[in-house]
Amino acid sequence: DGGITQSPKYLFRKEGQNVTLSCEQNLNHDAMYWYRQDPGQGLRLIYYSQIVNDFQKGDIAEGYSVSREKKESFPLTVTSAQKNPTAFYLCATQSDGGRKTQYFGPGTRLLVL
C-alpha cells in the first residue's frame, strides 16, 4: 500500500509540552514538506526538505523543528514556543523531475488542552 502516512490522527498538547507529529512515505520522493492549515487561510509552509540531512525554513517556522535522517521520514516537533499550535497539520512529498506535483498525507489535527 503506497503513499504517505501521518500519525496520530488527533493529538492533544498540554501547556509547555513538546509534541512530535510523524510523517512516513514509501513513494521514494526526495522532497518532503510540512504545512499548517487554519480555517480561511489556506496552507502555510512550515519546513521543507529536498534531501536527507538537509531542510529549510518555510514561511512560519517559528516554534517548530524538524529532522530528516531518513528519506522515508520527516517528523515535525511542535515546541512549547509555538503559542497557538491548534491547527490541521499536513505532510506532503513532491515527485521528482519536471512535474512538481505535491502529494498530501491525511493530516494530523493538533488540539491544546
List residues near other proteins by CB under 8 A.
Answer: 4, 31, 40-45, 48, 50, 58, 90, 92, 94, 99-107, 109
Minimum CB separation of residue 26 from other proteins in Å reads 16
Q: Which amino acid is residue 107, in one-letter code?
A: G
Nearer to other proteins, 16 or 42 (CB): 42
Nearer to other proteins, 79 or 107 (CB): 107
Minimum CB separation of residue 92 from other proteins in Å reads 8
Q: Which amino acid is residue 60, in one-letter code?
A: I
C-alpha 31: how far from chain center: 12
Nearer to other proteins, 79 or 95 (CB): 95
With cell 512516513, the residue in question is 24
**Where are any strands of DSSP class E within the chain?**
4-7, 10-13, 19-25, 31-37, 43-51, 54-57, 64-66, 76-78, 87-94, 102-104, 108-112
Nearer to other proteins, 14 or 99 (CB): 99
- Kindly tell me the burial class for residue 84, based on how many C-beta atoms sit within 10 Å of its own C-beta (0-12, 13-18, 19 or more): exposed
Minimum CB separation of residue 91 from other proteins in Å reads 8
Minimum CB separation of residue 110 from other proteins in Å reads 14
